[in-house]
Structure formats: C-alpha cells, structure tokens
C-alpha cells in the first residue's frame, strides 16, 4: 500500500511539474510532504555544477543583449550614391533595398535625388536605423562678380574707327572682298573656300581713314558666329552675289543686323559675270525690308567685283561716310572693356584670344576676366602677327596670357589685381554650379511627378482587385526586374556612336556641336558627344577614346574542375567600360597580344552573367584551355563591325 501511494505521489508531482492542469486532487490517504519534497527537489530543477546544497536557485530569466543596429546619417535630398556611401554599401545595395516599392528602378541613376520616405525605407530594409545629420548653418556668399562701368563722361570721348562686319551667304565673295581691300591672300588659305572662323583685320584706306573689318562665315552651321559679329559691330556690309541673289544666309544676316540695330550697306558682288542681275538682287532685298536708296530707302547699294577690284574704293568711302554720320566715339581711359571674337590654343603661345577693344586701352600686364577665365596679359599681336604695345577702342588684337581658354563671345573686363580676378572666376563658377543644381532638381522633380502620376494611374486600374489579385498583377508586371541582380542587368543593345570633337578655334567647335544638335535619327543610331575642346588631338584624347572599350585586369588565377578536366579561370576586376560575353575578347600581356577569341564562362560571384560593369569583380574562362593567366594581364572586350549604316539625318550640307 505504501509502495502504491509512493508511486502515485511521484506521478502526481511529475505531472504537476510539467504543468498538467487536469490532474485530480490527491486522495486523503496519499503520503504527506515527507514523500513529495525529495521528488519536488529532484524533478523541479537540475542542480548546476558547483552549486552547493541549500544555495538558492536564481529563477530570473537571462536577458539576451540586443544587437546594435548600424546608424545611418541621413539628410534631405540625398542622391543614391550619397545614401550608399552613408550606409557603407555599394549602389546596387540601394537598388535592391528599393525593389518592390513605388520607385521606378529603371529611371534610378547614381545622382538621382531620393525622397525622404524612400531614404528611410532603404535604411529600414537594410536592417539599419537612421538619424538626421546635424544641420550646418550656411552663410550667404557675398557677390564677387564684376560688371561694366557706368557710361563715360562725354568730355572724355574721342573719335574712333568704325567696326564693320562683312556678312552674307556662303561663297558670295565676302573674304575675297576683304582680300582685295587689304591686298592679302586670305581666301586662298581657307579650307574649301569657306571661312572657318571670324577674322578681324584693320584696313587703312588711301585717304588715311582706318576701318576694322570682321569677316564672318557664311555657312548655316556658323549662325552663332554671325550673330556675335553683328553684336560687336557698328556697320554691316551685306554681300549678295549678283548672279545668285538672296539666299538663306543672306536673310539670316539681315535678321542678325536688325536684332543688333546695326545699319546696313549692300555690296552687290560679282557684277562682272555675264549672268549678273544687280537690279533683281535689290528688288529681292525689298521683300526682306532692306530698301535701297533708288527705291526710296536709306540703304546705300554698291555694285562691285571683289575679284577684279571694281568699285571697292566707292564701297569703302560709303562706309566712312556712314561712320561720320554715326559720330562713332570711344573712351580710351579707365578700365578695359572688350569682347572675345575668337579663341584658340596655340602650341607656342598657349590659350590665345582675338578681341575687339571697346573701352579703355589694353597694355601688357593688365589683368582681364572673360567668363570663368582670367589672364595676365603677357603679349599682344596685331592681325599681321606683329607685337603691339597697346590697343585702344575699335582695335582688334590677339591676347596671350590666359590661364584657360574663354569662349568666343565672352565679355572682357579689366580688374585691378590677380586676386580680384580669381574671386570673380570663383564666384561665376559657383553661380553656374548653383544654376545647374536648380535645373537638375527641376528635371528630377518633373520626372518624379510623372512617375507618381503613372503609378497612381496603375493603382486606379487595379482598385477593384483584392489585395491578393493586386499583388499577383504587380508581380507579373515587375517579374523582369526580379529575374536577375541589378548589377548584372544587360543593357539594351542599341547602336551608339561616341564622338570626340576637337577644332582649331572655339567657333568651329561651336558650329560642329550646333550641327550635331540637329541630329534626329536616335532611333537608328544614337550619337554620344563624350568630349569636345579646342586644339590639336592629344594623347589624352586618344586615351579617352580607348575608355569606351571594356577592359579588365587579372588579379588572381585558379583552376576549376569540370568533370575530369581542370579549366583555368582568371579572377578579374573591370577597370573601365564593361565586359560583354557576346563580344570578342583579347588577352594582353605588356604590349603583346597573346590570344583573341570568345569567353566560354563569365561569372559574378556564383551567378552566370552576360555583362560585368566597371568596378565589379568576376571570374572568366576563355575558349583556349591551354592559356596561362598571370596577375597583371589585361583582358580587353571589343567588337568589330564593317556594316555601313545609312540614316535619315540631313545636317544641311
């Protein structure tokens, strides 16, 4: 009986210890505490090692220390790259953190500004927590720019020579006219008979009067240069061929002159040709509001032959007469003011500008500012490349001493010191940067608004669906984005032509860029102007052109066993461009090409990929298993194409 009671007591205590709520109360004949206490002590807790009898057991639960989350300093208007840097992650991590959100990942670039909620969401999804960066009080920068001086005292004004611009259609004889006036051979030196940039010359007539002539290009691509010539001139001589009549650039030249409010003298050229019809030319000009004197207007018209020199003296005298009526005067005192007519890079002289002085007298040692460039004048030359000591109003001059090359058309202003020049340039660069930030921000906000409207529209179209149906629809729509890592996305295979533009002078580069801006066949082949500048083609330009192929360097080599074969694999990092598995590859060691062919395997981490971008590491094996890679080898990815593509673009010439 005692044995049974003891068994029941042990069972009862054991079940109670295990929390059985259904066990009935003990019977009255059950043994007392003398039998249960040892069992309670035995079954309730396991004695720890080294614990003495009678020592109390600490029954409080042990608290696990929480893992500290990484803090990320965030601020308003962070870009993707700034957020990645703050999180100490790469840009791909931010892209992945924003998957399955309303953010349009296809439009996301490293310099895209993120909204506050997406900054916080990316941090949260990365298992981190955010904190706001301390705001730094920004001081308003003092305006350090320089402006033109107030109008001069009329008592200081002295007569000056007129600045005359020769304008008109291409091949109507503008440069030949100047050539005859100054008895030189400029026209014979021009490429294709087209003036490539503005030429500034000073001509002294037999009567002693001096005239500064500007020769502007007549081609359609040089519209901006013609406009520049009109803005710095006093009189425009409009050259129209008697056998050709009014053409496109003739009309454009008339518009430039009227916009600048400059008087016009018409020179009907090539009157020596049998098919010449000067009367028809003047009648055509009436249709463009250029009314000659014989039709009751105020515009002088001269019939000339630039090639034979007929009536050129009469044209010059008409110019001097008009200049006297205009009573042209200038201020030779005070700080220098002028305009950059043309700029170029000279091997011996460095950056050189051709300028027209409009106020003051330029001398050696003057400090000038033009745009975001400044100069300490070292030398000055006239149109005959002869050194001059000074240049006053209406005098064209070449200026040597620029630290950088200013753009044609920039305003030249003299400052009192080099320090002041640096302040002006720094301020102008700062303001240009601020303006660019504002423009970029407006573009970003417009794109974000467009995306939000598109997102809302898509949501409205799925409003009638249940959340399960909506989730399935969104998954199907975004399935292509989830099929591979963002860093391994293959770029759309579009034909792109990278272009580097270099020219002898700034105006020529400007004209070429204007022509390229009219390109309208991007759907057939996209043009990408990667660099432009003035001067000869340099080694830097060649290096820049080379950056548009994929290129990787071998960091380590190892073998991978496939079946019974050991295949050599090169561990690489892409230095520039991107590796594309579909293209051809070349293994280069030093200056020697060891192999050319294709890639059999291209992997990033453990995944097979088609492309690997700049900065990423990869493993690749080539189609020649006998090749031995060495650290330092270069693997170049390239493509060859011999198909000439015809596009619909018409540049206008």
The reply to whether 417 and 440 lie within a common domain is yes
The reply to whether 169 and 295 lie within a common domain is yes
Q: Can you tell me the distance from the alpha carbon of 425 to that of 440, in angstroms, rounded to the nearest whole number?
A: 22
> Long-range contacts for 254-261 (Cβ within 8 Å, ≥24 apart)?
254/288, 254/289, 254/290, 256/167, 256/226, 256/227, 256/229, 256/230, 257/167, 257/230, 258/289, 259/227, 259/230, 260/230, 260/231, 260/233
Residue that finishes a domain, picked among 312, 327, 342: 327
Write out the residue range of the structural domain in which residue 357 sits. 331-459
Q: What are the percentages of helix, strand and coil residues in the chain, rounded to 5?
A: 30, 30, 40
Q: What is the pLDDT of residues 113-129, one digit of tens each?
A: 888 889 999 999 999 98
Residue that finishes a domain, picked among 297, 327, 357: 327
pLDDT tier, 136 (very low <50, low <70, confident <90, very high otherwise) = low
For strands 367-370 and 607-608, give the pairing.
Answer: unpaired
Q: Is residue 27 domain-resident?
A: no
Q: Is residue 21 domain-resident?
A: no
Q: Answer yes or no: is pLDDT of 369 > 90.
A: yes
**Which one, of 260, 397, 404, 419, lies nearest residue 336 by Cα?**
397
Q: What is the chain's mean pLDDT, rounded?
A: 77
Whether the CB-CB separation of 425 and 369 falls below 8 Å is answered with yes
Residue that finishes a domain, picked among 308, 327, 346: 327
- 3-state SS, 497-546, equals EEEEEEECEHHHHHHHHHHHHCCCCCCCCEEEEEEEEECCCCHHHHHHHH
Q: What is the pLDDT of residues 500-530, one digit of tens each?
A: 888 877 777 877 887 787 888 877 788 878 7
Q: What is the pLDDT of residues 427-453, one digit of tens each?
A: 999 998 888 888 887 887 887 788 778
**Tell me, what's the pLDDT at 268?**
93
**Tell me, what's the pLDDT at 491?**
44
pLDDT tier, 230 (very low <50, low <70, confident <90, very high otherwise) = low
User: 78-96: buried (b, 16+ CB within 10 Å) or exposed (e) per residue?
Assistant: bbbebbbebbebebbbbbb
Q: What is the pLDDT of residues 16-53, one digit of tens each?
A: 344 444 444 444 444 444 444 444 444 444 444 444 44
The reply to whether 302 and 266 lie within a common domain is yes
**Range scoring the smallest mean pLDDT among 179-188, 535-544, 573-582:** 179-188
Q: Answer yes or no: is pLDDT of 72 > 50.
A: yes
When comparing pLDDT for 59 and 12, which is higher? 59
**Tell me, what's the pLDDT at 415?**
95
Q: Answer yes or no: is pLDDT of 219 > 60.
A: no
**Tell me, what's the pLDDT at 342?**
84
**Tell me, what's the pLDDT at 13?**
38
User: Which of 213-222, 246-255, 529-538 tops mean pLDDT?
Assistant: 246-255
The arithmetic mean of pLDDT across residues 241-263, rounded, is 88
Whether the CB-CB separation of 229 and 216 falls below 8 Å is answered with yes
The arithmetic mean of pLDDT across residues 218-225, rounded, is 52
Q: How would you classify residue 349: left for phi > 0, otherwise alpha for psi between -120 and 50, otherwise beta?
A: alpha
Q: What percent of the chain has pLDDT over 70?
A: 77
**Tell me, what's the pLDDT at 186?**
45
Q: Can you tell me the distance from the alpha carbon of 66 to that of 70, in angstroms, rounded to the nearest whole number?
A: 12
Q: Is residue 182 domain-resident?
A: yes
The reply to whether 299 and 180 lie within a common domain is yes
Q: Is residue 47 domain-resident?
A: no
Q: What is the pLDDT of residues 457-499, one digit of tens each?
A: 877 777 777 767 776 776 676 655 544 444 444 444 567 777 8
**Tell me, what's the pLDDT at 480?**
55
**Tell me, what's the pLDDT at 467?**
64
Q: How many domains does the chain have?
A: 5
Between helices 312-326 and 174-182, what is the axis angle to 10°? 90
**Tell me, what's the pLDDT at 418?**
94
pLDDT tier, 652 (very low <50, low <70, confident <90, very high otherwise) = low
The arithmetic mean of pLDDT across residues 120-139, rounded, is 82
**Tell me, what's the pLDDT at 497?**
77
When comparing pLDDT for 13 and 81, which is higher? 81
Q: What CATH number has the domain bearing residue 514?
A: 3.40.50.10050
CA dihedral 242, 243, 249, 250 (to 10 degrees): 20
Q: Can you tell me the distance from the alpha carbon of 644 to that of 653, in angstroms, rounded to the nearest whole number?
A: 20
The reply to whether 418 and 512 lie within a common domain is no
The reply to whether 533 and 602 lie within a common domain is no
Q: Answer yes or no: is pLDDT of 403 > 90.
A: yes
Q: Which residues contact 445 (CB under 8 A, 6 or more apart)?
A: none
| Cβ neighbours of 128 (radius 10 Å) | 17
Q: What is the pLDDT of residues 160-175, one digit of tens each?
A: 999 888 888 877 877 7
Q: Answer yes or no: is pLDDT of 549 > 60.
A: no
Q: Answer yes or no: is pLDDT of 367 > 90.
A: yes
Q: Is residue 469 domain-resident?
A: no
The reply to whether 291 and 342 lie within a common domain is no
Task: Indicate the pTM of the whole model.
Answer: 0.59
The arithmetic mean of pLDDT across residues 414-429, rounded, is 94
Q: DSSP letters along 354-376, please?
A: EEEEEES-EETT-EEEETTEEEE
When comparing pLDDT for 625 and 376, which is higher? 376
Q: DSSP letters along 447-469, please?
A: HHHHHHHHHHHHHHHTTTS-HHH
Phi, psi of 546 (to 5 degrees): -70, -20
Which SS3 state, helix, strand or coil, does residue 601 take? strand
The reply to whether 105 and 205 lie within a common domain is no
Q: Is residue 500 domain-resident?
A: yes
Q: What percent of the chain has pLDDT over 90?
A: 19
Structure tokens at 453: 């409207």
Q: Is residue 145 domain-resident?
A: no
Q: Answer yes or no: is pLDDT of 416 > 90.
A: yes
The reply to whether 203 and 315 lie within a common domain is yes
**Tell me, what's the pLDDT at 349?**
87
When comparing pLDDT for 629 and 150, which is higher? 150
Counting Cα atoms < 13 Å in the Cβ hemisphere of 544 gives 15
When comparing pLDDT for 545 and 399, which is higher? 399
The arithmetic mean of pLDDT across residues 333-354, rounded, is 88
Structure tokens at 130: 């955010």
The reply to whether 165 and 280 lie within a common domain is yes
**Range scoring the smallest mean pLDDT among 115-119, 177-181, 359-363:** 177-181
Q: DSSP letters along 297-309, please?
A: -SB-EEE-BTTTT
**Tell me, what's the pLDDT at 286?**
92
**Tell me, what's the pLDDT at 224?**
62
Q: Can you tell me the distance from the alpha carbon of 477 to that of 471, in angstroms, rounded to the nearest whole number?
A: 10
The reply to whether 369 and 434 lie within a common domain is yes
The reply to whether 304 and 436 lie within a common domain is no
The arithmetic mean of pLDDT across residues 538-555, rounded, is 65
Check the CA dihedral 26-29-32-35 and report its sign.
negative
Q: Is residue 507 domain-resident?
A: yes
């Amino acid at each position: 009986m005692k044995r049974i009671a003891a068994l029941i007591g042990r069972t009862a205590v054991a079940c109670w210890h295990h929390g059985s709520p259904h066990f009935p109360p003990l019977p009255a004949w059950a043994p007392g505490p003398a039998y249960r206490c040892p069992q309670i002590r035995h079954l309730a807790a396991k004695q720890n090692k080294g614990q003495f009898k009678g020592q109390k057991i600490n029954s409080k639960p042990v608290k696990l220390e929480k893992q500290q989350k990484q803090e990320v300093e965030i601020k308003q208007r962070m870009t993707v790259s700034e957020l990645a840097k703050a999180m100490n992650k790469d840009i791909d991590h931010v892209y992945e953190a924003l998957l399955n959100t309303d953010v349009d990942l296809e439009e996301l670039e490293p310099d895209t500004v993120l909204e506050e909620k997406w900054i916080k969401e990316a941090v949260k999804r990365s298992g981190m927590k955010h904190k706001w960066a301390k705001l730094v009080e920004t001081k308003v920068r003092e305006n350090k720019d320089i402006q033109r001086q107030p109008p001069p005292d009329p008592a200081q004004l002295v007569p000056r020579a007129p600045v005359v611009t020769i304008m008109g259609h291409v091949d109507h004889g503008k440069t030949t006219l100047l050539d005859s006036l100054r008895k030189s051979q400029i026209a014979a030196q021009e490429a294709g008979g087209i003036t490539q940039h503005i030429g500034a010359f000073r001509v002294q007539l037999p009567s002693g009067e001096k005239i500064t002539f500007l020769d502007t290009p007549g081609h359609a691509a040089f519209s901006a240069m013609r406009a520049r010539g009109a803005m710095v001139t006093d009189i425009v001589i409009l050259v129209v061929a008697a056998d050709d009549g009014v053409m496109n650039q003739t009309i454009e030249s008339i518009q430039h002159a009227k916009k600048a409010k400059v008087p016009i003298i018409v020179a009907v050229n090539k009157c020596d040709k049998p098919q010449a019809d000067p009367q028809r030319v003047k009648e055509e000009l009436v249709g463009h509001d250029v009314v000659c004197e014989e039709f009751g207007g105020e515009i002088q018209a001269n019939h000339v032959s630039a090639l034979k020199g007929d009536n050129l003296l009469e044209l010059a005298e008409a110019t001097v007469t008009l200049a006297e009526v205009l009573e042209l005067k200038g201020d030779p005192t005070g700080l220098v003011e002028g305009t950059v007519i043309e700029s170029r890079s000279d091997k011996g002289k460095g950056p050189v500008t051709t300028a027209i002085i409009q106020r003051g007298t330029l001398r050696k040692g003057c400090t000038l500012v033009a745009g975001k460039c400044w100069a300490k004048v070292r030398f000055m030359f006239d149109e005959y490349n002869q050194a001059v000591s000074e240049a006053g109003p209406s005098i064209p001059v070449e200026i040597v001493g620029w630290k950088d090359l200013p753009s044609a058309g920039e305003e030249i202003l003299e400052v009192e010191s080099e320090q002041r020049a640096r302040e002006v340039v720094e301020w102008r660069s700062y303001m240009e940067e601020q303006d660019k930030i504002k423009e970029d921000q407006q573009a970003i906000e417009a794109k974000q608004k467009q995306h939000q409207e598109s997102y809302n529209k898509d949501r409205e179209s799925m409003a009638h669906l249940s959340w399960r149906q909506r989730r399935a629809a969104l998954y199907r729509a975004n399935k292509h984005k989830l099929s591979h890592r963002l860093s391994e996305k293959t770029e759309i295979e579009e034909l792109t032509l990278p272009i580097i533009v270099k020219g002898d002078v700034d105006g020529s580069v400007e004209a070429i860029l204007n022509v390229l801006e009219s390109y309208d066949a991007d759907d057939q082949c996209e043009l990408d102007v990667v660099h432009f500048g003035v001067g000869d083609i340099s080694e830097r330009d060649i290096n820049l052109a080379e950056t548009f192929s994929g290129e990787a360097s071998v960091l380590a080599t190892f073998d991978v066993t496939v079946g019974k074969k050991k295949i050599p694999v090169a561990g690489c990092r892409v230095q520039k461009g991107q590796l594309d598995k579909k293209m051809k590859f070349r293994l280069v060691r030093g200056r020697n090409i060891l192999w050319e062919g294709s890639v059999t395997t291209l992997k990033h981490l453990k995944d097979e990929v088609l492309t690997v971008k700049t900065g990423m590491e990869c493993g690749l094996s080539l189609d020649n298993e006998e090749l031995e890679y060495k650290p330092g080898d270069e693997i170049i990815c390239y493509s060859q194409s011999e198909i000439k593509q015809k596009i619909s673009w018409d540049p206008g010439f």
